[in-house]
Amino acid sequence: MSDLGPLNRSALARRVEELRAEASNNIEEQHVLSRVILKQFTDDRHLLHAVSVIDRNAMILIKGPRGVGKVPNFVPQASRSAEELWGRTENLIPRVIKLCQQDRLHDDPAAVAVVRDIVALHYIRNRGLLTIHKRGYEQIRAELRRNARNMPGYEQGFRRQFRRALRDDEDHDAYFEVLARKTDSDFRSGLLFRASVERMFMRCRQWMVEKPVQLLHPEGGMFLIGDSPVISVDHLGRLGPENGVAIGNAIQILMPLTPRTLIAFGPSATGVVPAEIVAELNTFQVRAAHEYVFVHPASGLEDFVRTVRFGADVVGGELSSESL
């Protein structure tokens, strides 16, 4: 027994070993919200407005897609190959958006499949999932620690390591730390997260393969988009994985693609939604966002974002002319 028992034999652990050789081949600046989608929320100057949901007094940033929607080192190890994997879906987004704008998406089953992949991709590139990964690892580690003595070969492994029989809890603690050393190192470095986020992407794609896709357009006004754009809602109204709403447990899954197109999982159809529904869908985005919500400069939604997030007493913020 060389490490954490069952984890060593899992497909996840095998994938970690495959990725180890490329662990240092990384891209620091990683978009968690695809630039091609952010581009849809820009004006003729190719700029959008980024509204903070952390600081009510922060200036509204005026930037291009290249400068927003990023988390440095979100995948900290072997990230170049991860970016290449995400890119296979992102390269198909422009055509899908064009079909959505023409209300021709459902004429092309392959394009509908790409829409599902877009949702899966943006669901797993979520800072909330990184928090869940860390929490889950600690829970699994604690459970393995409690049950390690029941693992086949555990006491024999201790005898081989220390050349004597296992006597007490102190011996158990020492041996468990030896077994956990390699996996703990992969957890701290982010290599385990790299393998986990890839596996989750594949699982989400598989789970959604038969889900019908619905297109919604606003009767008036515009949709906005947050930096956690896939909204999974449960029957209690909770949002997102960090609130315990896994994509498989959601009663509704939503994601804006453009200011005038939003994806929903429901009966295959195209529909127009009234202003009050647009406001409700935009509210979901604001509530779920981690740092910023992005709005088209002509939308006039900046104060809406601040009101939803901070309350009705917020005064509209200044604009910063910083742009990238």
pLDDT digits (tens, 9 = 90+) for 291-317: 999 999 999 999 999 999 999 765 555
**Which token pair is 19?**
């990725």
Tell whether 184 is covered by a domain: no
Cβ atoms of 261 and 246 within 8 Å: the answer is: no
**Which token pair is 195?**
């393998």
* Counts of helices then strands in the chain (DSSP H, E): 11, 10
pLDDT score of 317: 58
Tell whether 213 is covered by a domain: yes
Nearest to 217 by CA among 257, 267, 170: 257
Cβ atoms of 44 and 159 within 8 Å: the answer is: no
Domain hosting 83: range is 11-133+192-320
Tell whether 183 is covered by a domain: no
pLDDT score of 61: 97
Residue 102 CA to residue 21 CA, distance in Å, equals 45
Mean pLDDT of 31-52: 97
Cβ atoms of 308 and 286 within 8 Å: the answer is: yes
How many whole angstroms from its chain centre is CA 90? 15
Q: Are strands 261-265 and 252-258 parallel, antiparallel or unpaired?
A: antiparallel
CA angle in degrees (0–180, nearest 5) for 114-118-121? 130
Residues 230-249 as b or e (16 or more Cβ within 10 Å = b) = bbbbbeeeebbbbeebebee
- Predicted confidence (pLDDT) at residue 216 exceeds the cutoff of 80: yes
Q: Which residue has the higher pLDDT, 246 or 112?
A: 112
Tell whether 33 is covered by a domain: yes
Distances (CA, A) of 164 to 161, 171, 178: 8, 10, 16
**Which token pair is 100?**
């959505």
Q: Which residue has the higher pLDDT, 189 or 159?
A: 189
Q: Are strands 48-52 and 292-295 parallel, antiparallel or unpaired?
A: antiparallel
Tell whether 185 is covered by a domain: no
pLDDT digits (tens, 9 = 90+) for 64-99: 999 999 999 999 999 999 999 999 999 999 999 999
**Which token pair is 96?**
């899908």
pLDDT score of 119: 95
Q: Of 30-44, 53-67, 156-170, 194-208, which gets the smallest average pLDDT? A: 156-170
Tell whether 176 is covered by a domain: no
**Which token pair is 94?**
């422009």
Distances (CA, A) of 266 to 110, 167, 250, 263, 290: 18, 59, 12, 9, 26
Cβ atoms of 292 and 227 within 8 Å: the answer is: yes
**% of the chain beyond a pLDDT of 90:** 65
Nearest to 130 by CA among 252, 225, 228, 37: 228
Tell whether 138 is covered by a domain: no
Tell whether 142 is covered by a domain: no
Number of domains in the chain: 1
Q: Of 52-56, 95-99, 176-180, 236-240, which gets the smallest average pLDDT? A: 236-240
